[in-house]
Structure 1
Amino acid sequence: MNQYINDVLNGKTESYRLLVRQLAPSLRSYLSGRLSDFHLVEDLSQEIFITVYQSLEKFDPKYDFRSWFFTIARNKLNSHLRKVYSKKSMKFAFEEEIQNLVAEVCDDDPQREGKLEHIQSCVAKLPEDALELIKSRYYTNETVISLAERLNSTENAISSKLFRIRKNLKDCLSAELIGHE
Protein backbone atom coordinates (compact mmCIF):
# COMPACT_ATOMS: atom_id res chain seq x y z
CA MET A 1 0.00 0.00 0.00
CA ASN A 2 2.86 2.36 0.68
CA GLN A 3 3.82 2.19 -3.00
CA TYR A 4 0.28 3.24 -3.98
CA ILE A 5 0.47 6.13 -1.51
CA ASN A 6 3.82 7.26 -2.88
CA ASP A 7 2.47 7.03 -6.44
CA VAL A 8 -0.58 9.14 -5.53
CA LEU A 9 1.58 11.73 -3.80
CA ASN A 10 3.72 11.86 -6.95
CA GLY A 11 0.69 12.61 -9.12
CA LYS A 12 -0.31 9.10 -10.27
CA THR A 13 -3.99 9.29 -9.33
CA GLU A 14 -4.70 5.88 -10.93
CA SER A 15 -2.89 4.34 -7.94
CA TYR A 16 -5.54 5.78 -5.64
CA ARG A 17 -8.19 3.94 -7.60
CA LEU A 18 -6.27 0.72 -6.92
CA LEU A 19 -6.01 1.59 -3.25
CA VAL A 20 -9.76 2.23 -3.11
CA ARG A 21 -10.40 -1.12 -4.78
CA GLN A 22 -8.41 -2.85 -2.04
CA LEU A 23 -9.98 -1.00 0.88
CA ALA A 24 -13.60 -0.61 -0.27
CA PRO A 25 -14.88 -4.07 0.74
CA SER A 26 -13.45 -3.77 4.26
CA LEU A 27 -14.78 -0.24 4.64
CA ARG A 28 -18.27 -1.16 3.44
CA SER A 29 -18.31 -4.14 5.78
CA TYR A 30 -17.26 -1.93 8.70
CA LEU A 31 -19.93 0.68 7.92
CA SER A 32 -22.64 -1.91 7.22
CA GLY A 33 -22.15 -3.29 10.70
CA ARG A 34 -23.12 0.08 12.12
CA LEU A 35 -25.57 1.50 9.57
CA SER A 36 -28.63 -0.19 8.17
CA ASP A 37 -29.08 1.91 5.03
CA PHE A 38 -27.11 0.65 2.00
CA HIS A 39 -27.20 4.06 0.33
CA LEU A 40 -25.88 5.74 3.45
CA VAL A 41 -23.03 3.20 3.58
CA GLU A 42 -22.16 4.03 -0.04
CA ASP A 43 -22.36 7.79 0.53
CA LEU A 44 -20.29 7.68 3.68
CA SER A 45 -17.74 5.39 1.98
CA GLN A 46 -17.27 7.94 -0.78
CA GLU A 47 -16.98 10.76 1.73
CA ILE A 48 -14.32 8.81 3.64
CA PHE A 49 -12.31 8.05 0.51
CA ILE A 50 -12.40 11.73 -0.46
CA THR A 51 -11.24 12.77 3.01
CA VAL A 52 -8.44 10.20 2.96
CA TYR A 53 -7.34 11.40 -0.48
CA GLN A 54 -7.32 15.02 0.67
CA SER A 55 -5.40 14.09 3.82
CA LEU A 56 -2.92 11.71 2.24
CA GLU A 57 -0.04 14.20 2.56
CA LYS A 58 -0.51 14.10 6.33
CA PHE A 59 -0.01 10.33 6.50
CA ASP A 60 3.26 9.30 8.17
CA PRO A 61 4.55 6.14 6.41
CA LYS A 62 6.17 4.86 9.60
CA TYR A 63 2.64 3.98 10.77
CA ASP A 64 0.21 1.39 9.43
CA PHE A 65 -1.90 2.86 6.64
CA ARG A 66 -4.96 0.67 7.29
CA SER A 67 -5.05 1.80 10.92
CA TRP A 68 -4.79 5.43 9.85
CA PHE A 69 -7.47 4.90 7.20
CA PHE A 70 -9.92 3.23 9.61
CA THR A 71 -9.31 5.92 12.21
CA ILE A 72 -10.55 8.44 9.66
CA ALA A 73 -13.47 6.13 8.82
CA ARG A 74 -14.41 5.73 12.51
CA ASN A 75 -14.24 9.50 13.05
CA LYS A 76 -16.42 10.17 9.99
CA LEU A 77 -18.93 7.55 11.11
CA ASN A 78 -19.07 8.94 14.65
CA SER A 79 -19.47 12.45 13.29
CA HIS A 80 -22.34 11.28 11.11
CA LEU A 81 -24.01 9.50 14.02
CA ARG A 82 -23.65 12.55 16.27
CA LYS A 83 -25.36 14.68 13.61
CA VAL A 84 -28.20 12.20 13.25
CA TYR A 85 -28.74 11.71 16.96
CA SER A 86 -28.38 15.35 17.88
CA LYS A 87 -31.46 16.04 15.77
CA LYS A 88 -33.65 14.06 18.12
CA SER A 89 -33.30 13.05 21.71
CA MET A 90 -32.44 9.44 22.40
CA LYS A 91 -35.50 9.08 24.56
CA PHE A 92 -37.58 9.97 21.55
CA ALA A 93 -35.55 7.56 19.44
CA PHE A 94 -36.24 4.73 21.89
CA GLU A 95 -39.93 5.57 22.02
CA GLU A 96 -39.97 5.78 18.24
CA GLU A 97 -38.37 2.32 18.06
CA ILE A 98 -41.02 0.94 20.40
CA GLN A 99 -43.78 2.61 18.38
CA ASN A 100 -42.30 1.07 15.24
CA LEU A 101 -42.48 -2.30 16.97
CA VAL A 102 -46.10 -1.63 17.83
CA ALA A 103 -46.79 -0.51 14.27
CA GLU A 104 -45.29 -3.72 12.92
CA VAL A 105 -47.45 -5.76 15.28
CA CYS A 106 -50.62 -3.69 14.99
CA ASP A 107 -50.34 -2.31 11.45
CA ASP A 108 -53.10 0.30 11.22
CA ASP A 109 -54.85 -0.61 14.46
CA PRO A 110 -56.69 2.54 15.61
CA GLN A 111 -56.22 1.40 19.23
CA ARG A 112 -52.44 1.56 18.95
CA GLU A 113 -52.15 4.25 21.61
CA GLY A 114 -53.95 2.02 24.11
CA LYS A 115 -51.30 -0.64 23.53
CA LEU A 116 -48.61 1.37 25.33
CA GLU A 117 -49.39 -0.37 28.62
CA HIS A 118 -48.47 -3.62 26.88
CA ILE A 119 -45.17 -2.07 25.90
CA GLN A 120 -44.51 -1.12 29.52
CA SER A 121 -45.34 -4.66 30.57
CA CYS A 122 -42.92 -6.09 28.02
CA VAL A 123 -40.16 -3.67 29.00
CA ALA A 124 -40.69 -4.60 32.67
CA LYS A 125 -40.10 -8.26 31.75
CA LEU A 126 -36.62 -7.53 30.40
CA PRO A 127 -33.71 -8.82 32.47
CA GLU A 128 -31.87 -6.09 34.38
CA ASP A 129 -28.79 -6.23 32.12
CA ALA A 130 -30.95 -5.91 28.99
CA LEU A 131 -32.85 -2.99 30.47
CA GLU A 132 -29.56 -1.30 31.42
CA LEU A 133 -28.22 -1.82 27.90
CA ILE A 134 -31.37 -0.33 26.35
CA LYS A 135 -31.27 2.66 28.71
CA SER A 136 -27.58 3.28 28.07
CA ARG A 137 -27.97 3.07 24.32
CA TYR A 138 -31.26 4.88 23.76
CA TYR A 139 -31.72 7.17 26.74
CA THR A 140 -28.19 8.36 27.46
CA ASN A 141 -26.99 8.21 23.85
CA GLU A 142 -24.04 5.95 24.63
CA THR A 143 -22.54 4.65 21.40
CA VAL A 144 -22.20 0.96 20.62
CA ILE A 145 -18.43 1.48 20.58
CA SER A 146 -18.49 3.04 24.05
CA LEU A 147 -20.78 0.32 25.39
CA ALA A 148 -18.45 -2.35 24.02
CA GLU A 149 -15.45 -0.73 25.69
CA ARG A 150 -17.25 -0.19 29.00
CA LEU A 151 -18.66 -3.73 29.10
CA ASN A 152 -15.44 -5.40 27.87
CA SER A 153 -17.23 -6.73 24.83
CA THR A 154 -17.13 -6.27 21.06
CA GLU A 155 -19.19 -3.87 19.01
CA ASN A 156 -20.73 -6.79 17.13
CA ALA A 157 -21.72 -8.47 20.39
CA ILE A 158 -23.38 -5.30 21.69
CA SER A 159 -25.19 -4.72 18.37
CA SER A 160 -26.39 -8.32 18.42
CA LYS A 161 -27.61 -8.01 22.01
CA LEU A 162 -29.51 -4.83 21.16
CA PHE A 163 -31.05 -6.55 18.13
CA ARG A 164 -32.11 -9.54 20.28
CA ILE A 165 -33.60 -7.24 22.92
CA ARG A 166 -35.64 -5.41 20.28
CA LYS A 167 -36.72 -8.77 18.83
CA ASN A 168 -37.73 -10.01 22.29
CA LEU A 169 -39.75 -6.84 22.82
CA LYS A 170 -41.43 -7.36 19.46
CA ASP A 171 -42.20 -11.00 20.28
CA CYS A 172 -43.51 -10.02 23.70
CA LEU A 173 -45.70 -7.34 22.15
CA SER A 174 -47.07 -9.84 19.65
CA ALA A 175 -47.94 -12.26 22.44
CA GLU A 176 -49.37 -9.54 24.71
CA LEU A 177 -51.48 -8.00 21.97
CA ILE A 178 -52.78 -11.32 20.67
CA GLY A 179 -53.63 -12.34 24.24
CA HIS A 180 -55.69 -9.17 24.79
CA GLU A 181 -57.78 -9.23 21.64
Structure 2
Amino acid sequence: MNIADSGYFNPAEDYEIVQQILGGNKDLFEKLERKYKKPLSHLISKMVRNTDDVEDIVQETFIRAYNNLRYYKKEFAFHSWLFKIASNLCIDFLRKRRVQTISIEQPFPRSESENQMDFPALGDEADKMILDEEQRQSLNAALSLLPEKYRIVIELRHFEELEYNEIAERLGIPVGTVKAHLFRARKALLDILRKRRLV
Protein backbone atom coordinates (compact mmCIF):
# COMPACT_ATOMS: atom_id res chain seq x y z
CA MET A 1 0.00 0.00 0.00
CA ASN A 2 1.20 3.48 -0.83
CA ILE A 3 2.30 5.24 2.36
CA ALA A 4 0.66 8.47 1.18
CA ASP A 5 -2.73 6.70 1.17
CA SER A 6 -2.26 4.78 4.41
CA GLY A 7 -3.23 7.49 6.90
CA TYR A 8 0.41 7.97 7.85
CA PHE A 9 0.25 11.62 6.78
CA ASN A 10 -2.10 14.00 8.56
CA PRO A 11 -2.29 17.34 6.71
CA ALA A 12 -4.31 19.07 9.45
CA GLU A 13 -1.82 18.04 12.13
CA ASP A 14 1.14 19.06 9.96
CA TYR A 15 -0.42 22.45 9.27
CA GLU A 16 -0.93 23.05 12.99
CA ILE A 17 2.73 22.18 13.65
CA VAL A 18 3.85 24.57 10.90
CA GLN A 19 1.77 27.38 12.42
CA GLN A 20 3.33 26.77 15.83
CA ILE A 21 6.83 26.82 14.31
CA LEU A 22 6.06 30.10 12.54
CA GLY A 23 4.73 31.38 15.86
CA GLY A 24 8.12 30.88 17.46
CA ASN A 25 8.20 27.23 18.59
CA LYS A 26 11.05 26.35 16.22
CA ASP A 27 12.01 23.15 18.06
CA LEU A 28 8.81 21.55 16.76
CA PHE A 29 10.41 21.27 13.32
CA GLU A 30 12.33 18.27 14.67
CA LYS A 31 8.98 16.48 14.93
CA LEU A 32 8.46 16.94 11.20
CA GLU A 33 12.02 15.78 10.53
CA ARG A 34 11.49 12.57 12.52
CA LYS A 35 8.16 11.94 10.80
CA TYR A 36 9.32 12.49 7.24
CA LYS A 37 12.97 11.42 7.18
CA LYS A 38 12.21 7.81 6.20
CA PRO A 39 9.57 8.61 3.52
CA LEU A 40 11.87 11.28 2.06
CA SER A 41 14.81 8.87 1.95
CA HIS A 42 12.61 6.32 0.18
CA LEU A 43 11.46 8.88 -2.39
CA ILE A 44 14.94 10.26 -3.07
CA SER A 45 16.57 6.82 -3.30
CA LYS A 46 14.33 6.09 -6.31
CA MET A 47 16.11 8.89 -8.19
CA VAL A 48 19.57 8.94 -6.61
CA ARG A 49 21.50 5.73 -5.98
CA ASN A 50 24.39 6.72 -3.72
CA THR A 51 23.30 6.52 -0.08
CA ASP A 52 25.48 9.46 1.01
CA ASP A 53 23.96 11.62 -1.74
CA VAL A 54 20.48 10.55 -0.60
CA GLU A 55 21.33 11.64 2.94
CA ASP A 56 22.65 14.97 1.66
CA ILE A 57 19.46 15.66 -0.29
CA VAL A 58 17.26 14.67 2.68
CA GLN A 59 19.13 17.18 4.85
CA GLU A 60 18.97 19.87 2.18
CA THR A 61 15.22 19.26 1.76
CA PHE A 62 14.60 19.88 5.45
CA ILE A 63 16.78 23.00 5.42
CA ARG A 64 14.95 24.39 2.37
CA ALA A 65 11.58 23.58 3.93
CA TYR A 66 12.50 25.18 7.26
CA ASN A 67 13.73 28.35 5.61
CA ASN A 68 10.67 28.62 3.36
CA LEU A 69 7.91 27.66 5.81
CA ARG A 70 6.40 31.15 5.56
CA TYR A 71 5.59 30.39 1.90
CA TYR A 72 3.79 27.12 2.65
CA LYS A 73 0.08 27.30 1.74
CA LYS A 74 -2.62 25.36 3.60
CA GLU A 75 -4.32 24.23 0.38
CA PHE A 76 -1.40 21.87 -0.28
CA ALA A 77 -0.69 18.94 2.02
CA PHE A 78 2.61 19.52 3.81
CA HIS A 79 4.04 16.19 2.68
CA SER A 80 3.25 17.05 -0.98
CA TRP A 81 5.03 20.40 -0.59
CA LEU A 82 8.00 18.73 1.11
CA PHE A 83 8.25 15.98 -1.52
CA LYS A 84 8.13 18.60 -4.29
CA ILE A 85 11.15 20.32 -2.73
CA ALA A 86 12.95 16.96 -2.58
CA SER A 87 12.08 16.11 -6.19
CA ASN A 88 13.37 19.48 -7.42
CA LEU A 89 16.61 18.99 -5.48
CA CYS A 90 17.02 15.52 -7.03
CA ILE A 91 16.49 16.95 -10.52
CA ASP A 92 19.06 19.69 -9.85
CA PHE A 93 21.50 17.12 -8.46
CA LEU A 94 21.16 14.81 -11.48
CA ARG A 95 21.43 17.73 -13.91
CA LYS A 96 24.67 18.89 -12.28
CA ARG A 97 26.04 15.35 -12.41
CA ARG A 98 25.31 15.17 -16.13
CA VAL A 99 26.94 18.54 -16.75
CA GLN A 100 30.08 17.41 -14.94
CA THR A 101 30.40 14.34 -17.15
CA ILE A 102 33.10 14.42 -19.81
CA SER A 103 33.07 11.85 -22.60
CA ILE A 104 36.13 11.02 -24.65
CA GLU A 105 34.52 8.25 -26.64
CA GLN A 106 32.87 10.04 -29.56
CA PRO A 107 35.03 10.67 -32.64
CA PHE A 108 35.60 14.03 -34.28
CA PRO A 109 34.87 14.33 -38.00
CA ARG A 110 37.48 12.23 -39.83
CA SER A 111 39.75 15.10 -40.76
CA GLU A 112 40.21 16.46 -37.23
CA SER A 113 41.07 13.78 -34.73
CA GLU A 114 40.43 10.24 -33.64
CA ASN A 115 38.75 11.25 -30.40
CA GLN A 116 37.02 14.21 -28.93
CA MET A 117 36.35 15.42 -25.43
CA ASP A 118 32.68 16.33 -25.26
CA PHE A 119 32.47 19.19 -22.77
CA PRO A 120 29.10 20.44 -21.51
CA ALA A 121 27.77 23.65 -23.01
CA LEU A 122 28.60 26.54 -20.69
CA GLY A 123 26.56 29.17 -22.50
CA ASP A 124 27.74 32.46 -23.92
CA GLU A 125 26.39 34.89 -21.33
CA ALA A 126 29.31 36.76 -19.81
CA ASP A 127 27.09 38.03 -16.98
CA LYS A 128 26.33 34.46 -15.92
CA MET A 129 30.04 33.74 -15.56
CA ILE A 130 30.50 36.95 -13.57
CA LEU A 131 27.54 36.08 -11.38
CA ASP A 132 28.92 32.58 -10.75
CA GLU A 133 32.26 34.08 -9.72
CA GLU A 134 30.51 36.51 -7.36
CA GLN A 135 28.53 33.63 -5.87
CA ARG A 136 31.72 31.64 -5.31
CA GLN A 137 33.32 34.59 -3.54
CA SER A 138 30.23 35.07 -1.37
CA LEU A 139 30.17 31.37 -0.52
CA ASN A 140 33.86 31.37 0.41
CA ALA A 141 33.33 34.42 2.62
CA ALA A 142 30.37 32.73 4.34
CA LEU A 143 32.36 29.51 4.81
CA SER A 144 35.11 31.42 6.57
CA LEU A 145 32.57 32.48 9.23
CA LEU A 146 31.64 28.90 10.15
CA PRO A 147 33.21 27.16 13.16
CA GLU A 148 36.20 25.15 11.97
CA LYS A 149 34.62 21.73 12.61
CA TYR A 150 31.70 22.67 10.33
CA ARG A 151 33.79 24.35 7.65
CA ILE A 152 36.06 21.30 7.36
CA VAL A 153 33.23 18.80 6.79
CA ILE A 154 31.66 21.07 4.14
CA GLU A 155 34.98 21.34 2.32
CA LEU A 156 35.68 17.59 2.48
CA ARG A 157 32.18 16.64 1.32
CA HIS A 158 31.51 19.26 -1.35
CA PHE A 159 34.96 20.33 -2.56
CA GLU A 160 36.94 17.09 -2.20
CA GLU A 161 33.77 15.01 -2.78
CA LEU A 162 34.62 12.46 -0.08
CA GLU A 163 32.04 9.92 1.08
CA TYR A 164 30.80 10.09 4.67
CA ASN A 165 32.94 7.15 5.77
CA GLU A 166 36.02 8.73 4.17
CA ILE A 167 35.40 12.00 6.03
CA ALA A 168 34.93 10.07 9.28
CA GLU A 169 38.21 8.24 8.72
CA ARG A 170 40.06 11.44 7.77
CA LEU A 171 38.84 13.30 10.88
CA GLY A 172 38.79 10.35 13.28
CA ILE A 173 35.12 10.81 14.21
CA PRO A 174 32.02 8.58 13.85
CA VAL A 175 29.99 8.73 10.63
CA GLY A 176 26.99 9.89 12.66
CA THR A 177 28.99 12.90 13.86
CA VAL A 178 29.95 13.70 10.26
CA LYS A 179 26.27 13.73 9.27
CA ALA A 180 25.31 15.89 12.25
CA HIS A 181 28.14 18.37 11.53
CA LEU A 182 27.12 18.57 7.87
CA PHE A 183 23.49 19.21 8.72
CA ARG A 184 24.35 21.99 11.19
CA ALA A 185 26.98 23.42 8.85
CA ARG A 186 24.51 23.69 5.96
CA LYS A 187 21.91 25.29 8.20
CA ALA A 188 24.43 27.82 9.54
CA LEU A 189 25.73 28.53 6.04
CA LEU A 190 22.24 29.18 4.72
CA ASP A 191 21.52 31.50 7.66
CA ILE A 192 24.68 33.51 6.90
CA LEU A 193 23.82 33.78 3.21
CA ARG A 194 20.23 34.78 4.01
CA LYS A 195 21.38 37.51 6.40
CA ARG A 196 23.55 38.86 3.60
CA ARG A 197 20.57 38.52 1.23
CA LEU A 198 22.53 36.26 -1.10
CA VAL A 199 19.90 33.50 -1.28
Structure with higher RCO (Cα < 8 A, 6+ apart): 1
Relative to the length of structure 1, the TM-score reads: 0.48
